[in-house]
Amino acid sequence: MKIMLLAGLILVVLGIASLLVPIPHTEKHGIKAGDVNIGVETTQSERVSPIISVVLIAGGIALTVGGRACDRLQSEEPTGT
C-alpha cells in the first residue's frame, strides 16, 4: 500500500503549505464607453481556513499510518502452504 503512504505524505505537505502560503485573488472592475476603457484592478491575498489545513494534515497522517500498517501486515504474512 505504498500508494496510501504517498497520498498521505502529499496531503500532509499540502496541509502545511496551506497554512503558510496565501492564495492571490485578482478582480478587474471597469467601465467601457465606446472606445474608452476605465478600469481598476484589485489584488487580495487570502489564506485557507485553518480548519481545512488541519483536516488535510490529519487525513494525511491517517493515510500515512494506515499505509505503513498495511505494509507491515503484508510483509509479516507467511508465504507458502
Q: What is the DSSP string of the chain?
A: -HHHHHHHHHHHHHHHHHHHPPEEEEEEEEEEETTEEEEEEEEEEEPPPHHHHHHHHHHHHHHHHHHHHHHHHHHHS----
Per the confidence metrics, is the pTM higher than 0.75?
no
Of 21, 27, 12, 11, which is closest to residue 48 (Cα–Cα)? 21
Q: Which residue ranges make up each domain of the chain?
A: 2-76
Distance from the Cα of residue 71 to its chain's centroid? 25
Q: What is the pLDDT of residues 29-48, one digit of tens each?
A: 888 888 888 899 999 999 88
The confidence score (pLDDT) of residue 1 equals 65
